[in-house]
Amino acid sequence: MTRPTRTQPPRSWTVTPARYDNPDVQQLLWQLHTAQLEMYGYADDPTDTPAEDYTPPQGLFLLAREVTARPAGCGGWRSLDASTAEVKRMYVHPDTRGQSLGRELLLRLETDARLRGYTHMQLETGV
């Protein structure tokens, strides 16, 4: 008996490292900020975080773009201590959700932190 295979839609985005203060990253972070305010009534100000927190080797920030070059998602990790990294600012634009972009961003962040010697990763999520 054969099993049906699940085919993934062709990837419609690219993921590359970006500076935290990149204008396209900031655009997505303000969208995240607005969504958090609507959901929880509060949100961290993205400008309160220094861009250096996400600069290798103590961090990394990723930017995903659709093939049209529109920013589609982002996320980063930063060092909390010698063995612990923290995932922050994960966001996928609503038009891009459901395509596993968030999963890919998280996998790349985890992989990068692990390759840099971090053995624990922390992620705080909303309710």
Question: Which CATH number belongs to the domain containing residue 95 in this structure?
Answer: 3.40.630.30
Residue 19 forms part of a structural domain: yes
**Predicted local distance difference test score (pLDDT) of residue 126:** 73
Instruction: Give me the pLDDT at residue 31, please.
Output: 97
Domain containing 97: what range?
13-123
Nearest Cα to 124, choosing from 74, 83, 89?
89
* DSSP code at position 47: G
Residue reference for tokens 């049209």: 68
Domains identified in the chain, total number: 1
- CA gap 1, 3 in Å, rounded: 7
- 6 domain-assigned: no
- Specify if 45 maps to a domain: yes
pLDDT tens, residue by residue, 46-69: 999 999 999 999 999 999 999 999
pLDDT of residue 11: 64
Query: Would 2 be classed as within a structural domain?
Result: no
Stretches where the chain sits below pLDDT 70 are 1-11
Does 111 fall in a domain? yes
Decide: residue 9, CB within 10 A, 0-12 exposed, 13-18 middle, 19+ buried. Answer: exposed
Asked whether residue 1 is domain-assigned, the answer is no
pTM comes to 0.89
